[in-house]
Amino acid sequence: RLRKWQRRIRVSDAAERNLAFALSELDRITSKLGLPRHVRENAAIIYRNAVEKGLIRGRSIEGVVAAAIYAACRRCRVPRTLDEIAEASRVDRKEIGRTYRFLARELNIKLTPTNPIDYVPRFASELGLPGEVESKAIQILQQATEKGLTSGRGPTGVAAAAIYIASVLLGCRRTQREVAEVAGVTEVTIRNRYKELTEHLDIDVTL
C-alpha cells in the first residue's frame, strides 16, 4: 500500500542519485583524460549495462565507472593505461583491473590485448613528432608483431621503443628520457625493448 509506494520512491530515488553520481564521475574523469565524446558515451553504455545486470553490488560506483572507461578506451582504440585512469579517478589500479575483468566477463565484452600501435598517435603528438615518424614507428611495430616480439611485453614499452627508434632514424631524435616520460615507462624498459627490436628486425641505429 502506502508503505510499498514510499519504498519504491525511495529505491528509485537512490537509483537515480547513484546514476547521476556515476555519470558525473564519468564526465569528470573523461574530461580530465581529454577523451573524445564517443568514448565517454561508450563508457556510459557499459556502465548502464552493468547497472541493469546488477553488477554494481559489492563494488564501488567509482570503481565500475573507472573500469568502464578503461574498457571503452580500449574498444575505441584510444587506450589509456590503468595507471592513467587510476590517477584521473580515485581508484587504485588493482581494483580497476579486477573490475574491468569482471565487467568484460559478465557483459561479454571481448577485447584483444591492447595493440602497441594504438598508443603511437598520442605518444608521438605529445612528443611533437611528425607524421613520418609515426608511420615509421607503426611499421616497426607491425614487423615486431609478426616476429612475436610484442608477446608478453607491456604495450606501452614496445610502443615507446618503436617511437624512439623511428625518431632517431628520421632525424628528429627524442631522448629515451623524453619518450619514457610520455609513455609512462622507465628508460630501462625502453632500452630493453630497443635492443630486442633493433637486433631482431636488423635495424641500424647509428648515432
Partner 1 sequence: MEPEIKIVNVVVSTKIGDNIDLEEVALILENAEYEPEQFPGLVCRLSVPKVALLIFRSGKVNCTGAKSKEEAEIAIKKIIKELKDAGIEVIENPEIKIQNMVATADLGIEPNLDDIALMVEGTEYEPEQFPGLVYRLDDPKVVVLIFGSGKVVITGLKSEEDAKRALNKILETIKEVQEL
Q: Is residue 153 a contact point for partner 1 (CB under 8 A)?
A: yes
Q: Which stretch binds partner 1 (CB under 8 A): 24-32, 107-115, 174-182, 185-193?
A: 107-115
Q: Which stretch binds partner 1 (CB under 8 A): 14-22, 31-39, 131-139, 152-160?
A: 152-160
H-type alpha helices, 127-201: 131-146, 155-169, 176-183, 187-200
Positions 130 through 149 that interact with partner 1 (CB under 8 A): 148
Q: Is residue 81 a contact point for partner 1 (CB under 8 A)?
A: yes
Binds partner 1 by CB under 8 A, chosen from 43, 69, 82, 91: 82
Q: Which stretch binds partner 1 (CB under 8 A): 14-22, 43-51, 128-136, 154-162?
A: 154-162
CB 104 within 8 A of CB 110: yes
Q: Is residue 106 a contact point for partner 1 (CB under 8 A)?
A: no
From the list partner 1, DNA, none, which binds 188 (C-beta under 5 to 8 Å, kind-based)? DNA
**Contacts of 145 by beta carbon, 8 Å cutoff, 6+ apart:** 115, 116
Positions 159 through 188 that interact with DNA (CB under 7 A): 184-186, 188
DSSP conformation class of 116: G
Using alpha carbons, list the distances in angstroms from residue 149 to 33, 41, 114, 146: 30, 34, 14, 8
Q: Which residue has the cell 553490488?
A: 57
Build a one-symbol-per-residue string for 12-51: x at contacts with DNA by CB under 7 A, - elsewhere: ----------------------------------------
| Distance (Å, whole) CA 56 – CA 54 | 6
Q: Is residue 94 a contact point for DNA (CB under 7 A)?
A: yes
Rg (CA), the chain: 21
Binds partner 1 by CB under 8 A, chosen from 7, 17, 77, 101: 101
* Nearest CA among 118, 128, 130 for reference residue 158: 118
Q: Is residue 198 a contact point for DNA (CB under 7 A)?
A: no
| Distance (Å, whole) CA 100 – CA 82 | 10
| Distance (Å, whole) CA 99 – CA 81 | 15
Q: How far is the CB of 178 from DNA (least distance, A)?
A: 15
Q: Which residues bind DNA (CB under 7 A)?
A: 94, 97-98, 152-154, 157-158, 184-186, 188-189, 191-193
